[in-house]
Amino acid sequence: MNMELMMAIVNRKQSSAVMENARKAGAPGGTVCYARGTASSTILAALGLGDSGKEVLSCFIPEEKEAEIMTAVRSTHAKGMVIVCPCSGEENGMNTDWTLIEVIVEEGYSEDIMAAARKAGAKGGTIINAHGTGTESDVKFFGTPIVPEKEILMIVMDSDKTQNVVDAINSLSVLKEKGRAVMFTLPVKSFVNLG
């Protein structure tokens, strides 16, 4: 059975309704992370999204249930978006209209990265606070490793503009310093605006 990664980026307190509908259509459980949006206030106002507090619901779904699950998710009253990325098999050269750019970076750099991405054509992104897993070289406090704080920046955008944004992000010094940041892209098989 091929699995796909479904991610819903919605306003706070709306991921439960999305997951409930997805589960009724055949999705297993998911994981919710709290995040914040980076869209400009003009865009937020136009979409009726005054609060930038977000939830990111991640759920692996069976490929054969995707259409049914996406239909169920669309019926929620949540505001945001849902994407599906393939994660089984070879996807090299897959032509899609949308791409997910993900940058995992030390805390404090995601806004600078988003500014560079905006200049290159990105409209907005979502930032999740995270932390590293710890290594032998981490500083210890009373024997407990202090792991570095991280941010995960996710940008969903038109595939034809992706390379410009990737190049702009790659030009930043933080991506050239070892261990500071990593960036990758994934094809987005399905994209749906909610609300």
What are 110-127's pLDDT values in tens digits? Answer: 999 999 999 999 999 999
Give residue 120's pLDDT.
96
Kindly tell me if the per-residue pLDDT of 179 is higher than 80: no
Give residue 172's pLDDT.
95
Q: In CATH, what is the architecture of 3-92+190-194?
A: 2-Layer Sandwich (3.30)
Per cent of the chain over pLDDT 90 is: 67
- Within 97-195, residue ranges assigned H as helices are 110-119, 159-170
Give residue 95's pLDDT.
75
Average pLDDT, the chain: 87
CATH topology of domain 98-187: Alpha-Beta Plaits (3.30.70)
98-187 matches 3-92+190-194 in CATH topology: yes
Which phi and psi angles does 23 have, rounded to 5°? -65, -40
Domains of the chain: which residue ranges? 3-92+190-194, 98-187
